[in-house]
Structure 1
Amino acid sequence: MSSLRALFVRIARRARLVLAPLWESLVVGTLRGLVWWSRLFPVSWSCAIIASLAKLCGPFFVVSRTARRNLRAAFPEKSGWEVWWLVVGVWDNLGRMAAEFAHLDRIWDYDPAHPDAGRIEIVGADIMARLRDDGRPALFFTAHTGNWELNAITGAKLGVPGGVLYRAPNIKKAADLIAEMRAQTMPGLVKASRHAGRQMARMLEDGAHIGMLVDQHWGQGVTVRFFGRPAATNPTLARLARQFDCPVHGMRVIRLPKGRFRIEITEEVPLPRDRDGRIDVEGAMQAVTSVIEGWVREYPAQWLWLHRRWR
């Protein structure tokens, strides 16, 4: 029996070695095809088509069970139908974001002289100008709301030097393709790895500004309360703020009707400190998480409920 099991294991390993490259090529080929197809049409057309398909099919995917479970726990007062339509909204946002990803180099049209004329409006542009000119490093936190990719573009477009921490997909060819597309509009990308902390520290020493998403589960992180439930959170933001004693600001993207976006930059978020006057890491991450919870409560259909935030 054991020899038969060993035979099946060897067959499975060999099949994986053969099929893995084919699977990666299929995924990357599909991504390239979608990008090419999306760029043939105006962004509004691409968004309408892909969002319609996402809303039609997405709620029936297995991963949507996670979204419904999360929403019922976060909003126990909502009915089953309200939860269902929030999940539909989540897929609508994801579908539009997928289409917009192919147009990131075309979407930005913010003009300080006519701030309400284009697709992009900014609340807190004066804060960014102040951070740009004060000669000090700063940290930004954000969440998976609206089209969160626009956060990384904002700093570069407003002349604020810095970088963005990101997590690459597991499929290397897909990760390379996405990094190639992001590099056109997002300078200073920092890939999440064991060396990322040191890289970001060097950037902050040079007076740069670092942004990162902090609303996903992190098994080795600190525990905070999010919608009244314990959630493990990556403490890197707070540790860097403690090390450099630099200000921390929030930044979010809100999806508006007619293909428009509002980018909001908060004033410095006050962070709790210990008896020695240094930033308290766990308390800081709770303060940041509380801000994000407020964002999610305001626009629940624009957050990524598909992720297993609570474990």
Structure 2
Amino acid sequence: MSRPLPWMTRLRNAALSAAVWALTHYLRLIGPRLSAWTCAFWARLIGPLTPIQTQTLANLELAYPDRSAAEHRAIARGMWDNLGRMGGEFVHLDRIWQFNMWEPAKSRIEVEGATQFTAMRIDGKPALVFTAHLANWELPAIAAAAQGLDSAVLFRAPDNAFFADLLFNARAQVMGNLVAASHVAVFELASVLEQGKHLGILVDQARRGGPLVQFFGHPCTTNPTIARLARLYECPVHGVRVIRLPGGRFRITCTPPIDLPRDEKGRIDIDASMQTITSIVEEWVREHPEQWTWFYKRWRI
């Protein structure tokens, strides 16, 4: 039997719940585009004043040593704008997917590599999909569910239980199966692939004890889960990314299956494969640096 929460915790959760309810209903009322603009305005205003800005600028100086401090601040400002817009879009996850393949001009979403998505849906085989914290990274999982792709998503829940529940409930309405990262998650991930489903994993954060890879010319660790699963199940691995476009629109791109490196025995080489995947993510970030989350401690070893 679980112990009741302390009254101060219950009071704090009640206050948070009331505040979030009021803000959510206001943002829902004004619609996705105005909601995104409003949150982006406040993020651009407040974000640079937080301690997170220091880590952001340090990472940008490491990644782009040839650029000026003003250019670093401009990228950081774009990052805050993107994060604010994503926050404003989060309350509209059930409305944000507007895709019409017959009339693309009327769609909020553009899709490149649609044949790859179609092939994954009809081939009856499992597949691994990696993505990164670019633009609105919630969209690939929403797209998979909207297009009938039987899928699951590995995610890391926030440490705060209140916000963890809030995020889980919002995502559960519009995404496939949600698998919380934990020391036992690997068994659930294996079950997903054994059932012939598709598994999405974010791959652009550090992992203590993980393989060392080069990212923007500097060593960092990475999470090898996707390469280990690919080696175990010999299933195709695709990269999917989101690009934010003007006017509240997005482009989702899907790569063909990635040809991952193999060792002398013909098995997928985990360390080399993670370098291949990391290099692809770096190309994505370099193309739209203002749409990536630069405040992660990516180069922590």
Q: Secondary structure at the match of 2:106?
A: coil
Match in the other structure for 2:221: 232
Match in the other structure for 1:118: 107
TM-score by length of 1: 0.92
CA displacement at 1:259 relative to structure 2: 0.4
Q: 2:193 aligns with which of 197, 204, 218?
A: 204
Q: Secondary structure at the match of 2:252?
A: strand
Match in the other structure for 1:220: 209
Distance 1:68 1:132, change over 3 A: same
Unaligned runs of 5+ in 1: 1-15
CA displacement at 1:19 relative to structure 2: 4.5
Unaligned runs of 5+ in 2: none
Q: Does 1:93 align with 2:91?
A: no
Match in the other structure for 1:266: 255
Match in the other structure for 2:292: 303
Amino acid at match of 2:158: P
Match in the other structure for 2:238: 249
Q: Distance in 2 between matches of 1:85 and 1:23?
A: 36
CA displacement at 1:21 relative to structure 2: 4.3
1:279-298 mapped onto 2 (5 Å cutoff): 279-298=268-287
Q: Distance in 1 between matches of 2:162 and 2:262?
A: 43
Structure with the greater alpha carbon radius of gyration:
1
Match in the other structure for 1:12: none
Residue deviations 1:126-154 (CA, integer Å, cap 9, x gap): 11101111111100000000000101111
User: Identity rate of aligned residues, in percent?
Assistant: 47
Q: Distance in 2 between matches of 1:28 and 1:235?
A: 37
Q: Does 1:40 align with 2:35?
A: no
1:42-81 mapped onto 2 (5 Å cutoff): 42-81=31-70
CA displacement at 1:240 relative to structure 2: 0.3
Match in the other structure for 1:103: 92
Distance 1:219 1:19, change over 3 A: farther
Please tell me whether the aligned partners of residues 24 and 174 of structure 1 are also in contact (alpha carbons under 8 angstroms): no
CA displacement at 1:57 relative to structure 2: 1.5
Please tell me whether the aligned partners of residues 138 and 247 of structure 1 are also in contact (alpha carbons under 8 angstroms): yes
Q: 1:154 aligns with which of 129, 138, 143?
A: 143
1:184-203 mapped onto 2 (5 Å cutoff): 184-203=173-192
Q: Distance in 1 between matches of 2:237 and 2:43?
A: 35
CA displacement at 1:30 relative to structure 2: 3.1
Q: Distance in 2 between matches of 1:208 and 1:271?
A: 20
Match in the other structure for 1:3: none
CA displacement at 1:43 relative to structure 2: 1.2
Q: Secondary structure at the match of 1:219?
A: coil
How many residue pairs get aligned? The number is 296
Distance 1:228 1:28, change over 3 A: farther
Residue deviations 1:150-174 (CA, integer Å, cap 9, x gap): 0111111122111000111111122
Q: Distance in 2 between matches of 1:28 and 1:305?
A: 29
